Structure 1
Amino acid sequence: MSVLSFNRWDYLATKVLVGGAVLVTAATAVIAPLIQWLRDEPLHWDLTVAHDAPVPRGVEAQSGVTLSGTDGLRVTLPQADAGPWIASLLPGALLAVAVAVVGWLLLRLLRATEAGQPFTRQTVRSLRVIAITVFVATLAITFAEAVADSVIAGAALLDSVSTVGLTFSIPLVPLAFCVLLTALAEAFARGAVLQDDVEGLV
Structure 2
Amino acid sequence: MDTKLIIEDHVIPQLFTTAIEAYEFEHKTHARGKSNSELETFGLLWGYSIPQKGNLPSRIISTMATVETSALRHQDWVKPNVESLSTKKRFFEKYYPNVELVGTFHSHPYASLDEVNENKGWRASDADEEFWPRLHKLLCPEHGQMAHLVVTISSLNNKGWAYPSRLKGSEEKRGYVLSAEYRKLWLNSYLTTLNKDSDDELEFEFSTNLTMNIPSLENSFWDI
TM-score (structure 2 length as normaliser): 0.28
User: Which structure has the higher relative contact order (CA within 8 Å, separation 6+)?
Assistant: 1
Greater fraction strand: 2
TM-score (structure 1 length as normaliser): 0.30
Mark the structure with the bigger radius of gyration: 1
